[in-house]
A and B are shown apart, each in its own frame.
Chain A
């Protein structure tokens, strides 16, 4: 069974640009969560999608957005990139979206904003 797949693995963008990251969850998983990982702030929750609906949202500005498709694949978008958006963006999938189930992470997308 394939794991969580994130594309691309690496990205370099310029300040002010926008970026879209993609996540394919484990087959059969319906919940997809996104996290930002930085050396200073650690792992921080961005948002969670379940059945194409955003169910939870972290404390990030509106420049960070996401969506989920009917096949559970998810994308996140960051507009008007800032230097501080440089981070490892991780996607996690869970089987059925209920609480108290383990989340499996992908390898992440390393975004560098210059």
Chain B
């Protein structure tokens, strides 16, 4: 069945360091992937997306890498700041799913001063 999973449930990094959050997916039909950030008491906030015809996409301080061979997705955050503390979710969708997103369980990122 469909599943999107995260390798690590928690990640703690020093302020200023780079963070890497990983995600594995099992649906080979998935062709669109999104990373969301969720802060306490708020809904998920869109960070960056990538389509299956790409391997890498960059945004402001964030980079998403997609490895379709091993069905792996990662989110890199450069120069991590205290405001980056949150739970990060990867999500995927496929042609059949339209706007149906399958979410991973999330990784909690904490920033040490």
Contact = CB atoms under 8 A, between A and B. Distances in A.
Task: Specify which of B32, B49, B100 lies most central, judged by the most chain A CB atoms within 10 Å of its CB.
Answer: B100
Contacts, number: 72
Contact of A43 (B31, B46, B89, B97): B89
A108 B42 CA distance: 7
Nearest to A47: B100
Contacts of B105: 42
Given A43-B89, A99-B93, A58 B100 contact: yes
Contact of B99 (A43, A48, A108): A48
Interface of B: 31-32, 34, 36, 41-46, 49, 51, 89, 91, 93-95, 97-106
25 contacts: A4-B43, A33-B99, A33-B101, A35-B103, A43-B89, A43-B91, A44-B103, A48-B100, A50-B99, A56-B98, A58-B100, A90-B43, A92-B101, A94-B99, A97-B98, A98-B98, A99-B93, A99-B94, A100-B31, A100-B32, A100-B93, A103-B46, A104-B46, A105-B36, A105-B44
Given A43-B89, A107-B41, A107-B43, 20 more contacts: A42-B103, A42-B105, A43-B44, A48-B98, A48-B100, A50-B98, A55-B99, A56-B98, A90-B43, A98-B98, A99-B99, A100-B31, A100-B32, A100-B93, A101-B99, A102-B46, A103-B99, A106-B43, A107-B42, A108-B42
Interface of A: 4, 31, 33, 35, 42-45, 48, 50, 55-56, 58, 90, 92, 94, 97-108
